Structure 1
Amino acid sequence: MVEIISIYNYVMRRILLIQGLIGLSLYDEIGQGYLNEIDLECYITDIIPTLAQVSNHLHPSFERFYVCTVVKKVFFFLDHLHTRRIRIKDIVSSGLLSQLLELRDSAKSRDLVVNETGNWFSMPAVLEVYENYLDLDRDHDGMLSKKELSQYGSGSLSPIFLDRAFEVCRTYNGEMDYKTFLDFYFAMEYRKTLSAMHYIFRILDINQQGYLTAQTLRYFFDGIEEGIKAVKTVK
């Protein structure tokens, strides 16, 4: 009986992935097997009504933030070289599509727990990211200043690192919007991943040489040391 159930689950997962592959391909207007951010945004927006665990708990005003978070997360992990497009096959093989389509299960939606964040694309997981952003936005203008972002992670990031982050990342009048924050957040939360390493390397590579020198590392280390001294002085 166990083997039959396992085979059944395997077959159903394969069917789900094939359906997902076909669905994604419909948004590939050029027909080259790639999707850009806008393509993926359209796909996510269109399938939300079929994702019971999302649509049953999604307020219309939050939909664009949900879509934005999902799309940026997919691109962060699959487009770490910033080509601005990802292969449809990579989306399918990465397991990210499977996680997303798992949210179609309406039976699980009845047991949705606020703190359940196992699925990256569940409402609790996305809300956790968004609430982090809102907590940092002290003046409630929808943007993050360097001072506001400095409070991320209990304020452990050095001013030098933050200065570089704002130089490297896209900002608007010196402030970071939600989309830009998402890349920063994913890099900080998943530091051991290849995508996070690429992101952090871009910040550390102040001379854009493609490698880090001892002098560069010392520069950032001095910033950390100064931050530690400042904390001790306050105490």
Structure 2
Amino acid sequence: MDGITINGTTTSLQAIRKLSNSLVNSDKENVRELKKKCNEKFLSQGPSSSNIEGMVRRMFQLLDPFAEINDKMCKKHELKECLAIYPSESREYIIDSLVPAFFIYKDYENRDQTLRIPEVQYFLKKKCEKKALYTKLIMYDRGVTGCILKDDMKEYIRDTLSLYDGDYFTFQDERFLNECVEHAIMKIKFFDIDKSNSRYEIRKLLLSPRIDEFENVLQVPVGVSSNWYAPAKVVGFKNTFTNLDFEDKGYLSLEEFKRLDANYSELFYERVYDIFTGGSNKFTLDHFKKLFLILENRHEHRAQKVLFQILDINEDGYLCMYDISKWFNSLKKLFTMNTEEDFPSESDFVNQLFDFLLIPPTECQRISFTDIYTSRKGEQFYGMLVNCLLYLTFENPEEPSEEAPNST
């Protein structure tokens, strides 16, 4: 790639790096003011969200004035025809925004690249949201690097949380705001920091469900802990941890940790305790939160890597028969304590696991991390090996599953 072309003008990468370096070494507030002006220009180039909604309503009225709103359908060529009455800039903005959506629905439900009005509205809404998020994130990029450094990421989180419920943090201790910032950065860092462990790529943050969830925390009412980043969630973790810490040591012993949730096996608690503490025998609040982070995000690659490490007892890089036998015995003990259901034999249990992942057990006698992750069944697989309720949902798929022990 030789450079970046905008409106027919090409800027070399060398010139961009030179500009970026000069910005990095400039006064931070002046750089932000410059970017603010650039953002205003950037946002003014497309139609407003209210104009977009009006264009979409008008478009579907022209297509079919009598059908119910959710039944109105549109093809790509019809989209262009219906928008012909609008200025070219606004028209092209909507068309360019929806072309990927038409491609997604090419073969979906034999729809032949047609979109319903709720789908059009959804994709355009997401485009506006991502555009607004982009202009927000680049304010924390010290140059034109496309990345946000660790300290600047904390500043973004602090600035956003400061807006929670208007003046919520105005009446809170500064230490609590700092605690909420550290709590938020824990999740974003765990999943989204780059391999150098020093920065976050903006292009990846725009696609991150963690950032979407974080931005949505401003809509969460005070006292509600449904969002990881909500202040009530932080308080809930502290209260649960404190209730387990009988002696107010600031950490949990293994026996205290095991009191968290009776549906998880002793072996699971022992493996988590050993791996997370590194033999220090001090299970801290951060360790506690990390466990919930992993259990609540079992579908994520990073979380599955940790779960696989926990299950791999002999640390040979596979779940071999030795590991599976250990988890079978721990789950059977837990299962017979908590339910009156019959538990399968070990051979039937092994066959269940291999059948679930579509692996012939007679051929390899072991399961790799890749086997689990590529099966797209990792979330259920890891859950059912350590939790008796999740094992029941494996046996009876129609029943709802528990995601993680309750922290609040």
Q: Same fold per TM (> 0.5)? A: yes
Confirm or deny that 1:96 pairs with 2:210.
yes
Q: Which moved more, 1:1-10 or 1:171-180?
A: 1-10
Which residue number corresponds to residue 141 of structure 1? 249
Match of 1:161 among 258, 268, 275: 268
| Aligned residue runs from structure 1 range 174-189, under 5 A | 174-189=281-296
SS in 2 for 1:93: coil
Residue 47 of structure 1 and its aligned partner are, at CA, apart by: 4.1
2:312–2:318: 8 Å Cα contact kept in structure 1?
A: yes
Quickly say closer, same or farther: Cα 1:87–1:55, change in 2 above 3 A: same
Distance 2:195 2:329 in 1: 30
Alignment check: 8 A CA contact 2:138 2:146 kept: no
**Equivalent runs, 1:66-85 vs 2, <5 Å:** 66-78=180-192, 84-85=197-198
Specify which structure has the higher proportion of strand: 2
1:48 and 2:161 are equivalent in the alignment: yes
Alignment match, 1:3: 53
Shift of the alpha carbon at 1:33?
2.7
- The gaps in structure 1 that reach 5 residues or longer are none
Question: Which region of structure 1 is more displaced relative to structure 2, 198-207 or 166-175?
Answer: 166-175
Tell me which structure has the larger Cα radius of gyration.
2
Does 1:221 find its partner at 2:337? no
Identity of paired residues, percent? 19
- Alpha-carbon distance between aligned partners in 2 of 1:166 and 1:25, rounded to the nearest angstrom: 38
Per-residue deviation, residues 99-128 of structure 1 (Å, max 9, x unmatched): 333445xxx57xx252352x3322233333
**CA-CA distance at 1:220 after TM superposition:** 2.1
- Could you tell me how far apart the structure 1 residues matched to 2:316 and 2:204 are? 29
AA matched with 2:210 = L
Q: 1:114-157 CA distances to partner (integer Å, 9 max, x unpaired)? A: 2352x33222333333333233223222212211211222x233
- 5+ residue gaps, structure 2: 1-49, 57-120, 340-408
**Pairs aligned (count):** 221
TM-score (norm 2): 0.45
Using the TM superposition, give the Cα deviation of residue 71 of structure 1 relative to its aligned residue in structure 2, in angstroms.
Answer: 1.0
Retained in 2: the 8 A contact 1:73–1:186? yes
2:195 aligned with 1:87: no
In 2, the alpha carbon distance for the partners of 1:75 and 1:144 equals 24
Query: C-alpha displacement at 1:218, in angstroms?
Result: 0.9
Aligned residue identity for 1:145:
S
Q: CA 1:56–1:116 in structure 2 vs 1: closer, same or farther (change >3 Å)?
A: farther
CA–CA separation in structure 1 for the residues paired with 2:203 and 2:277:
28
How do residues 191-210 of structure 1 correspond to structure 2 at under 5 angstroms?
191-210=298-317
Distance in 2, matches of 1:100 and 1:93, equals 13
Give CA-to-partner distance per residue, 1:59-96, whole Å, 9 cap, x none: 423223211221111133336x9863543322221133
Q: CA contact under 8 A between 1:51 and 1:101: conserved in structure 2?
A: no
Contact conserved, 1:35 with 1:88, CA < 8 A, in 2? no
Flag the structure with more relative contact order, 1 or 2, with Cα contacts below 8 A and sequence separation at least 6: 1
What does 1:13-24 align with in structure 2 at a 5 Å threshold? 13-24=129-140
Structure 1 Cα separation of the partners of residues 279 and 316 of structure 2? 26
**Aligned-residue CA RMSD in angstroms?**
3.6
